[in-house]
Structure 1
Amino acid sequence: MTGAYDDRDGTIWMDGKLIEWRDAKVHILTHALHYASAVFEGERCYDGKIFKGVEHSQRLRHSAELLDMEVPYSVEEIEAAKYAMLKANGWTNAYVRVLAWRGAGEDMGVSARRNPVRMAVAGWEWGNYYGDAKMKGAKLDISKWRRPDPLTIPSAAKASGLYMICTMSKHAAEAKGCSDALMMDYRGYVAEATGANVFFVKDGEVHTPLPDCFLNGITRQTVIAMMREKGITVHERHIEPVELAGFEQCWLTGTAAEVTPVGQIGEFRFDVGALTRDVAQSYEKLVRA
């Protein structure tokens, strides 16, 4: 599947029914378009099974609750919608995007209590999020934007509006020839990339930022559990930027990123070492188990 995302052949599930791809439209006065009142999930289907699908559906509903929205579909109904979309498109390996948003209605200001909450499920066939970086190691810029204080945003929600500074950071990184950008948090600690969590290795032990002001990714949690089952020591803690010079290996995790090695962040360089390769290979086996 190629071409602009609004002009493709295919089927999208929208508000309870399957419709033609090009018919999946919303009105210009949709509240989410003006005020970012939307939440979403990114998931991958491997060999006909969506990895951690139920957890993603549960998080979608939780994210909506944090934005004072109520998704009008149960977890079971969301799961059925995802598989109906995949079946309609004939996909067994695909990326799945579920989106819930406040639509157009009687309100068109900051308040939107009288507007309906709508939901759609789309998908597409997607390879490595970082291209050949999956093998060679991604190159990251260091963003000037920081993840905000959780008292200013619902940081535990996977909400569309929270990605504005991520888009800006990624654009700046791409302009420098990088794949992505590493972001600090509001205190100056290492936080995450624009759409993925980050891990570091030093002396055979793994260190990863404490997710107290950014999303605790499902892939992040999966990889931590997997490593601990292997007997690998994992430290979830605040990491100072000056520590980057002392780490030997680095990788990113996320549904789109899966496990992607990092070769460079700013001036700091990392090896695509044995532990990084083992984690990537183990994750690949797990999602297809």
Structure 2
Amino acid sequence: MSLPYDDRDGKIWMDGTLVEWRDAKVHILTHALHYASSVFEGERAYGGKIFESRRHSERLRKSAELIDFEIPYSVDEIEAAKRATLDANGLTDGYVRAIAWRGAGPDMGVASARNPVRMAVAAWEWGAYYGDAKMKGAKLDLSKWKRPSPETIPSAAKAAGLYMICSMSKHAAEVKGCSDALMMDYRGYVAEATGANVFFVKEGEVHTPLPDCFLNGITRQTVLGMLRERGVTVHERHIEPAELEGFEQCWLTGTAAEVTPVGRIGEFSFEVGQLTRDIALGYEELVRR
């Protein structure tokens, strides 16, 4: 059994200082705990180097702007904080979580403009997000929850509150013996899994949902570049759920998921085909260059 995340040895960077892991705490009246005023990044280090580290740091600051606060650290300072955290924990391969939030202060209601913005970085060893699915293909449920319209949420932000329905969907999927759930968007088109983007293959061409109401993942963008370098035709478009029956292969992409094959979504089955294997292997090679 893995150790609880609040009871481990190591260091966590908080507000400019490395502190003991167990001492990295916030007050119960922290605004983010009550109103989800928090943004974060999930990143992986390979051989001591965080893949696309700067893009993650830039997105962290942009996500904060989208939910109406400014992180009091520059991209360079965030980069230094992540490096210091990895070094302090003696990690070369690991998962890095940078998070920024509105803390406790004079405001304790919906408005929180006077509260300080805080930031932390933690890092730990973390293996395959979907366990042995990288070999056999993940099994996905179909979520009853939909990704909201961008008129109702800042869908380009990696913000904590936007993951509530993702947690609910993943919990429901796990009860059914699935690894994850596929979510539709507010119009009924195929959107994404709870924490990963999705790709499909049909007759040698790739189809992937247009990210116009959900996060355009950094891993997603990396894989799109890999496909185009290989001369594979890619269609970024709206995908109807009924089309799932006609796709031959499927995979998920994300920093945690990396490139994970999908073997089943609801009643629809997919092969772990050659293109899926090639992209998964190519991604593993790319992140370790």
The aligned counterpart of 1:97 is 97
Say if 1:2 and 1:8, in contact at 8 Å, map to a contact too. no
2:29 and 2:282 map into 1 onto residues whose CA distance is: 46
Give me the TM-score of the superposition, normalised by structure 2. Answer: 0.99
For residue 280 of structure 1, report the CA deviation from its aligned partner. Answer: 0.1
Counterpart AA for 1:126: W
Question: 1:91 corresponds to which letter in structure 2?
Answer: L
1:182-219 C-alpha deviation (Å, 9 max, x unpaired): 00000000000000000000000000000000000000
Are 1:206 and 2:206 matched, yes or no?
Answer: yes
What are the Cα deviations for residues 92-120 of structure 1, in whole angstroms up to 9, with x where unaligned?
00000000000000000000000000000
Look up the equivalent residue of 1:75 and give its one-letter code. Answer: V
The corresponding residue for 2:132 is 132
Aligned twin of 1:238: 238
SS of the counterpart of 2:206? strand
1:260 partnered with 2:274: no
Q: Distance in 2 between matches of 1:138 and 1:15?
A: 38
TM-score by length of 1: 0.99
Once the two structures are superposed, the pairs formed by residues 129-278 of structure 1 within 5 Å of their partners are 129-278=129-278
Task: Return the alpha-carbon distance in structure 2 between the equivalents of residues 185 and 246 of structure 1.
Answer: 20
The amino acid that maps onto 1:47 is G
| Structure 2 residue ranges without an equivalent (≥5) | none
Describe the superposition over 1:32-91 as per-residue Cα deviations: whole angstroms up to 9, x where unpaired: 000000000000000000000000000000000000010000000000000100000000
The aligned counterpart of 1:112 is: 112
Specify the SS of the correspondent of 2:54. Answer: helix
Q: Which residue of 1 aligns with 2:63?
A: 63
Query: What residue number does 2:37 align with?
Result: 37
Q: What's the CA shift string for 1:210-239, capped at 9, x where partnerless?
A: 000000000000000111011011100000
SS of equivalent residue, structure 1 residue 172: helix
Q: Which residue of structure 1 lines up, in the alignment, with residue 283 of structure 2?
A: 283
Looking at structure 1, the residues matched to 57 and 178 of structure 2 have their Cα atoms a distance apart, in angstroms, of 32
Offset at residue 2 of structure 1 (A) = 3.5
Unaligned 5+ runs, structure 1: none
Distance 1:90 1:141 in 2: 38
Q: In 2, Cα distance between the equivalents of 1:177 and 1:103?
A: 37
In the aligned structure 2, how far is the partner of 1:105 from the partner of 1:83? 29
Q: Determine helix, strand or coil for the equivalent of 2:3.
A: coil
Question: How far apart, in 2, do the equivalents of 1:141 and 1:120 lie?
Answer: 33
Contact 1:209 1:238 in 2 (8 A): yes
Question: What is the DSSP-based 3-state SS (H/G/I as helix, E as strand, rest coil) of the residue aligned with 1:171?
Answer: helix
Match of 2:15 in 1: 15
CA RMSD of aligned residues (A): 0.7
Which residue of structure 2 lines up, in the alignment, with residue 123 of structure 1? 123
The letter for the 2-side match of 1:221 is: Q
Task: State the alpha-carbon separation in 1 of the partners of residues 199 and 218 from structure 2.
Answer: 14
Kept in 2, the 8 Å contact 1:202–1:249? The answer is: yes
Which 4+ residue blocks in structure 1 deviate beyond 3 angstroms? none
Which residue identity lines up with residue 122 of structure 1 in the other structure? A
Aligned to 1:24: 24
Letter in 2 for 1:273: G
SS at match of 2:245: helix
Aligned length: 289
Question: Which residue identity is paired with 1:256?
Answer: A
Cα distance in structure 1, aligned partners of 2:235 and 2:200: 10
Q: In 2, Cα distance between the equivalents of 1:206 and 1:27?
A: 47
Task: Name 1:6's counterpart in structure 2.
Answer: 6
